């Protein structure tokens, strides 16, 4: 082999070695980035786990409160009618006019039963808000998924409120623990 061929072969070998070294270093850098990401994710997961464990007594206390406070629905139709009667009675006590009322279909899940009522109520805005506020105490397990307030066309000082109330009862089969 001639000296030029040897030099050319040596340069080609060095270039090949350099390319292999660059490719390997790039792969090592990518691998290191993946390890750093995993480490960061694990640190976040550890922080989240520690936070959840620190909050566990509070959540157990809340669970106990819900278990002890949430009413149990035994007779679905009776509970739904009682719910409607309670809401309408409270509205009338404040001098509100119930224009329409309708029971919604009962929703049953493994953990709760939901009874719903849709109403159209007319009256003074302050009295309507007082009525809604009185019905929405946390211990009552009621929520309002939708409400619409519009001024009354006949009496501008009053409003008509279309409101939907849901009340959540503990499932009768779940019982109290």
CB 79 within 8 A of CB 169: yes
Query: In terms of domains, do 85 and 40 share one?
Result: no
Across the strands, what pairs with 72? 170
Residue 174 has pLDDT above 60, yes or no: no
Q: Among 46, 69, 92, give the residue marking a domain's end.
A: 69
The domain of 46 spans: 1-69
Q: Per-residue pLDDT averaged across 128-143, rounded? A: 92
For residue 177, being part of any structural domain is answered with no
Residues 65-113: pLDDT tens digits?
988 888 887 766 677 888 889 999 999 999 999 999 998 888 888 888 8
Residue 173 has pLDDT above 60, yes or no: no
- State the burial class of residue 90 (Cβ atoms within 10 Å of its Cβ: 0-12, 13-18, 19+): middle
What's the confidence (pLDDT) of residue 110?
Answer: 84
Residue 176 has pLDDT above 50, yes or no: no
* Sole residue written with tokens 């006019």: 97
For residue 155, being part of any structural domain is answered with yes
State if pTM tops 0.85: no
What's the confidence (pLDDT) of residue 19?
Answer: 95
For residue 139, being part of any structural domain is answered with yes
Query: In terms of domains, do 166 and 81 share one?
Result: yes
């Amino acid at each position: 082999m001639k000296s030029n061929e040897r030099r050319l072969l040596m340069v080609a070998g060095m270039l090949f070695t350099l390319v292999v070294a660059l490719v390997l270093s790039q792969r090592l850098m990518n691998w290191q980035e993946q390890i750093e990401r995993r480490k960061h994710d694990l640190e976040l997961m550890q922080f989240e786990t520690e936070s959840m464990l620190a909050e566990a007594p509070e959540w157990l206390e809340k669970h106990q409160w819900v278990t002890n406070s949430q009413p149990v629905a035994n007779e679905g139709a009776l509970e739904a009618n009682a719910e409607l009667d309670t809401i309408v009675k409270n509205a009338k006590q404040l001098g509100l006019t119930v224009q329409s009322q309708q029971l919604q279909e009962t929703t049953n899940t493994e953990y709760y039963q939901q009874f719903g009522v849709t109403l159209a109520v007319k009256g003074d805005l302050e009295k309507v808000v007082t009525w809604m506020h009185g019905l929405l105490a946390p211990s009552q397990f009621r929520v309002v998924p939708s409400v619409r307030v519009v001024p009354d066309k006949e009496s501008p000082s009053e409003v008509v409120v279309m409101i939907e109330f849901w009340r959540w009862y503990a499932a009768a089969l779940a019982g109290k623990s």
